[in-house]
Structure 1
């Protein structure tokens, strides 16, 4: 019957398993029902945690989950080296290697980086209390970032940026700049998304 067909696709809570956990049976996966909502709110690293608190509120948990999932899956400890960056800071970085000395470190002016809206992070491995700049580590962990909702700069066709991960919510940076200039901000100064 129609009712029994509907019930066949309805997830059910099974009995307790031998490990004492209740399992939620989902058509695609079996999920530990009680741990689904128990999210860690911090990472292993106080520096990373302080940088995550400055990200847009809608991606903070994604960032925490990404860092923790990489450590759990690969034993790799990541640090967020850059998160939120002001438009003025972005402009100063843009001038580096152009009008001021140093290497070029960014290709976009202020307002055109997702960092300017707290929607991007740059990460690096910390190994034996030292920074490990090996690109192969970033390539290895990129799928974990993607699984946590981020787009990865290593997938860009031009000017690949292996440490870079961003969540854009479908907005171009120019559209975010327009929202910023119109004052479409919450009481903490973050862009309001429709």
Structure 2
């Protein structure tokens, strides 16, 4: 009988903790997101926090003598569809597995980068060491980006997207498609 009470007590504690976590999760979420509904339009520019992080990335990389070039920011669904067709129904290599509306670029939450070499050419050479410190500039930039809060596509398991950086704010593509967006911080003027 004593073991039965111990088991019941343990389960009640676990259930209480789960209910409390569920309650806290639902109380915290609305402050971070807004729901614009499924008819929400796609943003035409980067989310302000992503834009700020991108500027910081360029500056911090520049402090290490690495010239970062942002090659892509937001994309329309049509632009994303065209990119998806590359290597499929169009010439070229496959560069994305995200169709229109399935990329964080579509929601202003992602950027792609490249490097500018000493000749002024934009390159996508992940082994290039233009600052001559014995480390790949590409990976140095990725490390800076991750320190700033970006997720790097080079860390993905299935498809390595080395130029890609995103900040998803904890939102899935499905949530974004449903019109849920990260709130933009109010700026003081």
* Distance in structure 2 (CA, Å) of the matches to 1:140 and 1:57: 24
Give the C-alpha shift of residue 100 in structure 1: 2.2
Partner of 1:45: none
Map 1:119-138 → 2, pairs under 5 A? 119-127=109-117, 128-136=119-127, 137-138=137-138
Partner of 1:143: 143
Gaps of 5+ in 1: 1-52, 185-190
Partner of 1:4: none
Partner of 2:53: 62
* Distance in structure 2 (CA, Å) of the matches to 1:174 and 1:156: 19
Q: Is it true that 1:78 corresponds to 2:78 in the alignment?
A: no
* Distance in structure 1 (CA, Å) of the matches to 2:170 and 2:114: 26
Gaps of 5+ in 2: 1-43, 128-136, 185-189
Map 1:1-194 → 2, pairs under 5 A? 54-72=45-63, 74-127=64-117, 128-136=119-127, 137-179=137-179, 191-193=181-183
Partner of 1:23: none
Contact persistence 2:169–2:182 (CA under 8 A): no
Give the C-alpha shift of residue 177 in structure 1: 1.1
Distance 1:158-1:78 versus aligned 2 partners, 3 A rule = same
* Distance in structure 2 (CA, Å) of the matches to 1:88 and 1:81: 18
Give the greater-gyration-radius structure (CA): 2
Supply the RMSD in Å over aligned alpha carbons. Answer: 1.8
TM-score (norm 1): 0.63
TM-score (norm 2): 0.65
Contact persistence 1:111–1:174 (CA under 8 A): no
Q: Deviations over 1:63-118 (max 9, x none)?
A: 1001111111x200101001101111101111122122222121110111000011
* Distance in structure 2 (CA, Å) of the matches to 1:156 and 1:98: 22
Higher share of residues assigned helix? 2
- Larger RCO: Structure 1 or Structure 2 (Cα < 8 Å, ≥ 6 residues apart)? 2
Could you list the runs of 4 or more consecutive aligned residues of structure 1 that deviate by over 6 angstroms after TM superposition?
Answer: none
